[in-house]
Structure 1
Amino acid sequence: MQRHRKMDGFLENVLSRLGFQTTDEQRDILVLNVLLLGDKQSGRSSVGNALIGGQEFQTGACVSGVSVTTELQVLSRKFPAYFRRQGAESDLMLRVIDTPPAKLRPQSLQDLCPDGVHVLVVVVRVDQLTDNSQLLRHIENLCGPDWHHHAMLVFTHADHLEKAGLQPSVYLSQSSDWLRYLAKEVGGGVSFLDNSFDWPSIRGRPLRDQLLRLSAKNHHKALRLRSDQSL
């Protein structure tokens, strides 16, 4: 019996060195809180579905043929062995919060994310641009002056640019001052997503990788959200 125990221990050590996880081992889990921000009909729910790799974010009533999220939604998804940290495999857990602009309550978000938010994903639809400079003020009021270090910008419906024969760089150069400022300031860079094909399976992984790189740049430190009283 003792000989069998020694042999089992030897095999576990060999498998561990080869990178295999035994049944008794627990991988490290990195949990990231992700807040989606953007105007109505911007495509926040679609970006949320791409991040979690599914179609779980539900939308409500339809306005002019475009679905509109009607209530706060929080969904989580764990991606086993998603990346390596300090030489060991780690799981990635994303908690994605989608809050309609009209119902964005700082205290509610603080209750949902008492440890803060790791990544802010600002969503803008390329074919419905308005002067939304107040969004930047709102984000700073909510997250403080360092918000841009934790933010990335995602343009949805980028297929309209291809139809118009516009390159993303040209589109940005011709956009409004607030949008050019936002694209320049966000620490996580800019992504253009095409809504004409399957987002979760095609666009999800690159978007998650971009998000993970941004969080790593900030040493996975979360932004503390301000309460209603401090605004």
Structure 2
Amino acid sequence: TKEQLYQLKARLCGESIFKTGKAMADPTKMVVNLALFGTTQSGKSSAGNTLLGSADFHSSFAPCSVTQDCSLGRSCHLQSFLRRRGQEVALQVRVLDTPGCPHSRLSKKDVEQKVRDALEHHFGQEGLHLALLVQRADVPFCGQEATYPVQMIQELLGHAWKNYTAILFTHAEKIEEAGSNEDKYLRAAPDTLLTLLNSIQHKYVFQHKKEKSFNEQRMKILERIMGFVKENCYQVLTFK
């Protein structure tokens, strides 16, 4: 039967419907859990607000780190955002905002412990669908500081981190302002960034603030992210 075929496919893919029964109890609703990582002033909180369609996270320009604690935001349900098994499904996004690393007030060890505790508390049993490395498109990805968030993702997510990590490039409008485009930008990227992109199977998305309305920008990013989650067979990483 169709139901048996679906269950077989789900088992083969390790779909989260069997790992996170609470989140998937209602087949007309789906919850996707995301966590933001990045250096100070990379735009994590602003990106989180875009994903949520709200202003849950405090975001401002400052000469120091703004976010000092992890916080979880929940979006409203996006009706008919996708279809699964022939049904329209409402999507809710849960986003964990984290302190930047390196941080102007917290040590690397303190940041990692805060994030570890938050991942276990919020996504310990339901699981994490994707870690988003937030990287400014107008800041070169080079030097030891740029790799700190990547190292933290590797330590927190374990050996499977490559399957659960994507890059979110913020301030992508700067690329066009410089007379370039996304393809040229990536071709000219430093080896450290190209190596990282290869490791995570080229899972990336650009966030443009000027060319689209807030809602169009949000939908474009969410569609791309849901593509990554689907390609990953809706699998999740649990922390308990």
Between structure 1 and structure 2, the one with the greater Rg is 1
Distance 1:41 1:152 in 2: 18
How far did residue 123 of structure 1 move? 0.8
Partner of residue 69, structure 1: 67
| Residue aligning to 2:21 | none
3-state DSSP of counterpart to 1:124: strand
Does the CA contact (< 8 Å) of 2:133 and 2:150 recur in 1? no
Per-residue CA distance 1:93-152 (angstroms, 9 max, x = gap): 111011013434212321121122111111100222242223322211110122221222
Q: Which whole-Å CA distance do the structure 2 matches of 1:119 and 1:99 have between them?
A: 14
> Contact (CA 8 Å) 1:34, 1:118: kept in 2 or not?
yes
Residues 199 and 128 of structure 1: is their aligned pair in 2 closer, same or farther, counting only changes over 3 Å? farther
TM-score (norm 1): 0.76
- CA deviations 1:158-209 (Å, max 9, x no partner) are 1221222222222223222221112223246222222335663121111111
CA distance in 1, matches of 2:29, 2:202: 22
Counterparts of 1:156 and 1:137, CA distance in 2: 20
Aligned to 1:10: none
Q: 1:214 to 1:155 in 2, by over 3 A?
A: same
Give the CA deviation at 1:54: 2.4
Q: Is the 8 A contact 2:67 2:99 kept in 1?
A: yes
How many positions carry a matched residue from both structures?
199
Cα distance in structure 2, aligned partners of 1:153 and 1:136: 10
2:30 corresponding residue in structure 1: 30
Contact in 1 for aligned 2:169/2:205 (Cα 8 Å): yes
**TM-score between both structures, scaled by the size of structure 2:** 0.74
Contact 1:59 1:70 in 2 (8 A): no
Can you give the 5+ residue segments of structure 2 that lack an aligned partner in the other structure? 1-25, 104-110
1:212 counterpart = 2:230: no
Q: Which residue of 2 aligns with 1:153?
A: 167
Amino acid at match of 1:75: G
Q: RMSD value over aligned CA atoms?
A: 2.4
Contact 2:48-2:95 within 8 A present in 1 as well: yes
Looking at structure 2, the residues matched to 31 and 209 of structure 1 have their Cα atoms a distance apart, in angstroms, of: 14
Identity of aligned residues (%): 26
Runs (5+) with no aligned partner, structure 1: 1-25, 227-231
Match of 1:56, SS state, is coil
